[in-house]
A and B are shown apart, each in its own frame.
Chain A
Amino acid sequence: MAINTEKNTYTIIFASVMVVVVGALLAYLASALSAKISENERLEKQQNILYAMGVNENEGAGSVNFVSTDQVAQTFSTFIKEQIVLEGDQITTDDNAYLIDLKKEEANAKAGKTRRLPVFIGEKDNKKYYIIPMRGKGLWDAIWGFVALDNQMVVQGVYFDHKGETPGLGANIKQRYFMDDFIGESIISNGRYVGITVAKGNNDPTNEIKDDNEVDALAGATITGDGVSAMIKQSVALYEPYFKTLATN
Chain B
Amino acid sequence: MGILSKKDAALISDPLLDNNPITIQVLGICSALAITAELKASIVMAVSVLFVMGLGNVVISLMRNIIPSKIRIIVQLVVVATLVIVVDQVLKAFAYELSKTLSVFVGLIITNCIIMGRFEAFALANGPKRSFLDGIGNAAGYGFILVVIGFFRELLGSGTLLGYKVLGDPIEKTGLYAIGYENNGFMLLSPMALIVVGIIIWVQRSKNPALIEEN
Contact residues, A79-138 vs B (CB, 8 A)? none
Which of B49-57, B90-98, B109-117, B129-137 lies on the face that meets chain A? B90-98
CB contacts (< 8 Å) of B92 on chain A: these are 33, 37, 40
CB within 8 Å for A15 and B71 given contacts A3-B66, A37-B92, A168-B41: yes
Tell me, yes or no, whether A246 is within 8 Å of chain B by CB: no
Contact residues, A1-41 vs B (CB, 8 A)? 3, 5-6, 10-11, 14-15, 18, 22, 25-26, 29-30, 33, 36-37, 40
Q: Contact between A171 and B104 (Cβ–Cβ < 8 Å)?
A: yes
Contact residues, A140-181 vs B (CB, 8 A)? 163-169, 171
Which of B6-14, B30-38, B196-204 lies on the face that meets chain A? B30-38
Which of B16-24, B78-86, B174-182, B206-214 lies on the face that meets chain A? B78-86
Closest Cβ–Cβ distance, residue B175 to chain A (whole Å): 15
Q: Contact between A29 and B71 (Cβ–Cβ < 8 Å)?
A: no
Q: Contact between A5 and B188 (Cβ–Cβ < 8 Å)?
A: no
Closest Cβ–Cβ distance, residue A9 to chain B (whole Å): 10
Closest Cβ–Cβ distance, residue B106 to chain A (whole Å): 9
Q: Which of B70, B158, B171 contacts A168 (CB 8 A)?
A: B158
CB contacts (< 8 Å) of B163 on chain A: these are 62
- Interface SS majority for chain B: helix
CB contacts (< 8 Å) of A206 on chain B: these are 171
Closest Cβ–Cβ distance, residue B57 to chain A (whole Å): 18
CB contacts (< 8 Å) of B89 on chain A: these are 29-30, 33, 37
Q: Contact between B69 and A5 (Cβ–Cβ < 8 Å)?
A: yes
Q: Which of B68, B94, B96 contacts A5 (CB 8 A)?
A: B68
Tell me, yes or no, whether A238 is within 8 Å of chain B by CB: no
CB contacts (< 8 Å) of A18 on chain B: these are 75, 78
Tell me, yes or no, whether B189 is within 8 Å of chain A by CB: yes
CB contacts (< 8 Å) of B90 on chain A: these are 29, 33
**Interface residues contributed by chain B, number (CB under 8 Å):** 37
Q: Contact between A167 and B38 (Cβ–Cβ < 8 Å)?
A: yes
Q: Contact between A163 and B68 (Cβ–Cβ < 8 Å)?
A: no
Q: Contact between B71 and A164 (Cβ–Cβ < 8 Å)?
A: no
Closest Cβ–Cβ distance, residue B80 to chain A (whole Å): 11
Q: Contact between B82 and A25 (Cβ–Cβ < 8 Å)?
A: yes
Tell me, yes or no, whether A212 is within 8 Å of chain B by CB: no
Q: Contact between B93 and A164 (Cβ–Cβ < 8 Å)?
A: no
Tell me, yes or no, whether B67 is within 8 Å of chain A by CB: yes
Contact residues, A194-215 vs B (CB, 8 A)? 206
Q: Contact between A33 and B37 (Cβ–Cβ < 8 Å)?
A: no
CB contacts (< 8 Å) of B34 on chain A: these are 166
Q: Which of A3, A164, A168 contacts B107 (CB 8 A)?
A: A164
Q: Contact between A26 and B85 (Cβ–Cβ < 8 Å)?
A: yes
Q: Contact between B67 and A5 (Cβ–Cβ < 8 Å)?
A: yes
Tell me, yes or no, whether A44 is within 8 Å of chain B by CB: yes
From A25, which residue of chain B is reached at the shortest CB distance?
Answer: B82
CB contacts (< 8 Å) of A25 on chain B: these are 82, 86
Tell me, yes or no, whether B28 is within 8 Å of chain A by CB: no
Point out which of B34, B35, B188 has the most chain A C-beta atoms below 10 A from its C-beta: B188
Q: Contact between B103 and A168 (Cβ–Cβ < 8 Å)?
A: no
From A177, which residue of chain B is reached at the shortest CB distance?
Answer: B171
Q: What 10 new A-B contacts, CB under 8 Å, besides A6-B68, A14-B71? A: A15-B68, A26-B85, A29-B86, A164-B103, A166-B37, A169-B37, A171-B104, A206-B171, A219-B188, A220-B189
List, sorted by A's number, 5 A–B pairs whose CB atoms are closer than 8 Å: A15-B68, A18-B78, A33-B92, A37-B93, A168-B154
Residues on B facing A (Cβ under 8 Å): 34-35, 37-38, 40-41, 65-71, 74-75, 78, 82, 85-86, 89-90, 92-94, 96, 103-104, 107, 153-154, 157-158, 163, 171, 185, 188-189
6 tightest A-B CB contacts, nearest first: A168-B37, A167-B41, A11-B68, A33-B93, A36-B93, A40-B96
